[in-house]
Chains A and B, each alone.
Chain A
């Protein structure tokens, strides 16, 4: 029988407690153990960025993080961005056609939110750098860059 480790943490501002399986990564823990399906599996090896989440405000690839290490920490995911209302980034992604299949979108939004939280007025270069760890096969990135810049420049409706 494999060991299970209790993990107490906050998820998008709410206290949560769940058991992590032995060796379970944060991505599987959030999806199977806690039921937050917004982080996505794309590679399981830290290449694609679809599983990006915030741990204590820093972006992390949840497929490379051991679940038990978030004990006592604050985790934010894309599903928490729309509470109570849609994040301006979400609205901007909708208006700028910044998603096609939508699979990379949660991770992309988390990276963009982390950028704007530490730098509300990023340059185009800084936006590109911030999402450089998030792969997208549909859009060619330009609509995503435009959506993030629109929020940064205050052009998007909040």
Chain B
């Protein structure tokens, strides 16, 4: 049962919050209970073709040759796609926000870095025919050593998952091989602490497992556009990604979404739309690309694994005076959203507690596992599990009730957080008091009297006079460039240390004449059109890429 204690927020809000605590009928509920809500796969098309991918059976392998000749002769097969059919066969999801370097092929043609990575796509009249033809594609693999553990992956001599990032670590701000947080001086606090409490915590990858698997159907429209019905939970990511990798202006793409059969973060990666649309472009027919359940579980990007080391300095009375984190996010084979998840996670450290000295080194590590992506609170969930488990360990060490310990160390209004923002609207003390009451735990008089409104600010509002900084993990000569400013094209400075061959920037949508894919042959059955479309070069308004700034302000991240 939800119990709403409005009195805690009496001084914060003047609305009467009259919607909370009452059931509200969803606007889409009638469609749901009558089975009429239009999920992507509920749209029917005559002559629908089915696309299925040929996937790597290896964690890590070089592709010597892909032979599609047998598959092309199979019954029902209309077309077999490989990497050379994809106009811009390299992308990173957050390039749309100008963050990160394109690292992931749509259909890999040089090597694969995780089991299940797609290397070709078969388009056939029925799903069964597509499945049969997938088995007939011959791939000549050169199997490479692989690495599946974050700490193994960053050891010298570990298999190189991606060529563009040195030592299997994402480069932050073009400068460091990890995201740093420095606040005060943890080493000084450790030296004078009554107790040092250390812990190691880890979380396995977690699959979002929506009941509707991810997928999209694309079809030529009568107006020289392509319609795409999709399960995406990030419609504009999918639209932008499709426009980019297909070198097609987004005005030629008509996306229809919004009815999502469960997403939980697993439907943001924009995997299906580009291939379904490419299939429609090259065959002139409607094409469906959807994962079956096995693919959803094997290649669907999960919440990534994390490993955390936490070290606390603790006074005899339970006050935590320093907290140090070393964290490893398992990004899997490609970046997707892990680099961003870490920025978000580091902004959250050291959890909802006022600790005067905080230190964190958090690494985004590439391994030969399935690439990780978003899932409900990603960037926070794993480290919160570590922090709260560690709080119990600290409580045990000093002999305090775990709820008392949390109240003692909670943020209060006006406190300075480690990322140098003032804490506002705190309510952890009050939550702890209710938890104790419900659990039948008698708190001390001080803990009962504590409030989030008092005891904060003052000394606790100060940024430390001295913060210990360092150049650990500094990477010289690494150019992350900028898609928005079109800088960073071509190889990095020859002095780059460690050697980091930079990929040429992939062409951006609108940066060249919008045309059909260069490698695209004439569609076998041309989409119906009134007249041959004139496709003039389209200029892109300069203001169309303001995403980077908005992203910066959201995350506290700023490109340096």
By a beta-carbon cutoff of 8 Å, the part of chain A in contact with chain B is: 23, 31-32, 35, 37-45, 47-48, 50, 77-79, 81-82, 86, 90, 93-97, 99-106, 109, 135-138
Whether the Cβ atoms of B293 and A78 lie closer than 8 Å is no
Within 8 A of A (CB), among B9-36: 23-26, 28-36
Q: Give the residues from 32 to 81 in chain B that come closer than 8 angstroms, CB to CB, to chain A.
A: 32-37, 39, 41-42, 44
Q: Which residue of B lies closest to A82 (CB)?
A: B34
Among A38, A40, A82, A96, the residue within 8 A (CB) of B261 is A40
Contact A105 B35 (CB under 8 A): yes
B contact set with A: CB distance below 8 Å: 23-26, 28-37, 39, 41-42, 44, 128, 208-213, 259-264, 292-293
28 contacts between A and B (CB under 8 A): A31-B42, A32-B44, A38-B35, A41-B41, A42-B213, A42-B293, A43-B293, A47-B293, A48-B211, A50-B212, A78-B34, A93-B32, A95-B23, A99-B26, A99-B29, A99-B32, A101-B32, A101-B211, A101-B262, A102-B37, A102-B259, A102-B261, A103-B210, A103-B262, A105-B32, A106-B35, A135-B211, A137-B211
Contacts A31-B42, A95-B23, A100-B262 known; 14 new A-B pairs at CB < 8 A: A32-B44, A39-B35, A44-B292, A47-B293, A48-B293, A82-B33, A82-B34, A90-B33, A97-B24, A99-B26, A102-B31, A102-B33, A105-B33, A106-B35
Q: Could you tell me the dominant secondary structure of chain B's interface residues?
A: loop
Query: How far apart are the CA atoms of A78 and B264 in the complex, in Å?
Result: 25
- Asked if B33 contacts A86 (CB within 8 A), the reply is yes
Residue contact A78 to B35, C-beta cutoff 8 Å: yes
Contacting residue for B42 out of A37, A78, A81, A99, CB 8 A: A37
Contact A101/B261 with A32-B44, A44-B293 known, Cβ cut-off 8 Å = yes
Contact A137 B210 (CB under 8 A): yes
Residues of B within 8 Å of A42, CB to CB, are: 211-213, 293
Please tell me if the beta carbons of A137 and B44 are within 8 angstroms of each other in the complex.
no
Q: How far is the CB of B528 from chain A (nearest CB, A)?
A: 23
Chain A residues within 8 Å of B32, by CB: 93, 99, 101-102, 105
* Smallest CB gap from A89: residue in B: B33
CB distance from B219 to the nearest CB of A (A): 16
CB distance from A14 to the nearest CB of B (A): 16
Bound form: Cα–Cα A109–B35 in Å:
10
| Cβ-defined contact, B211 with A136, below 8 A | yes
* Cα–Cα, bound, A8→B29 (Å): 33
Question: How far is A138 from B29 in the complex, measured between Cα atoms in Å?
Answer: 14
Partner of A90, one of B34, B211, B292, B293: B34
Please give, as numbers and ranges, the residues of chain A lying within 8 Å of B211 by CB-CB distance.
40, 42, 48, 50, 101, 103-104, 135-137
Contact present for A137 and B264 (CB under 8 Å): yes
Question: A-B pairs with CB below 8 Å: how many?
Answer: 102
Q: Which residue on A lies nearest to B296, using beta carbons?
A: A43
Q: Which of B32, B41, B44, B212 has the most CB of A within 10 A?
A: B32
Report the bound CA distance from A77 to B29 in whole Å: 18
**Assuming the A-B contacts A35-B44, A40-B39, A42-B293, are A94 and B29 also in contact, with contact meaning beta carbons closer than 8 angstroms in the complex?**
yes
In the complex, the chain A residue whose C-beta lies closest to that of B23 is: A97
Give the distance in Å from the alpha carbon of A92 to the alpha carbon of B41 in the complex: 27
B221 to chain A, nearest CB (A): 21
Q: How far, in angstroms, from A50 to B263 measured CA to CA in the complex?
A: 16
Expressed in whole angstroms, the minimum distance between the Cβ of B151 and any Cβ of chain A is 32
In the complex, what residues of B have CB within 8 A of residue A99's CB?
A: 26, 29, 32-33
* Bound: A32/B45 CA distance, A: 10
* B556 shortest CB reach to chain A, Å: 31
CA distance A156 to B208 in the complex (A): 33
Rounded to whole Å, the gap between the CB of B265 and the closest CB of chain A is 12
Report the separation of the CA atoms of residues A50 and B39 in the bound assembly, to the nearest whole angstrom. 13
Q: What are the residues of chain B within 8 A of A106 when measuring CB–CB? A: 35
Q: Which residue of A lies closest to B212 (CB)?
A: A103
Which residues in A have their C-beta under 8 angstroms from that of B24? 97
Best-buried of A79, A102, A109 by chain B (most CB within 10 Å): A102
Inter-chain CA distance A43–B210, complex, in Å, is 10
CB neighbours of B293 from chain A (8 A): 42-45, 47-48
Interface pairs A-B: 7 shortest CB-CB: A38-B35, A102-B32, A103-B261, A43-B293, A106-B35, A90-B33, A78-B35
Q: Report whether B23 and A96 are in contact in the complex, using a CB–CB cutoff of 8 Å.
A: yes
Cα A43 to Cα B295 in complex, Å, equals 10
CA of A106 to CA of B41, assembled, Å: 15
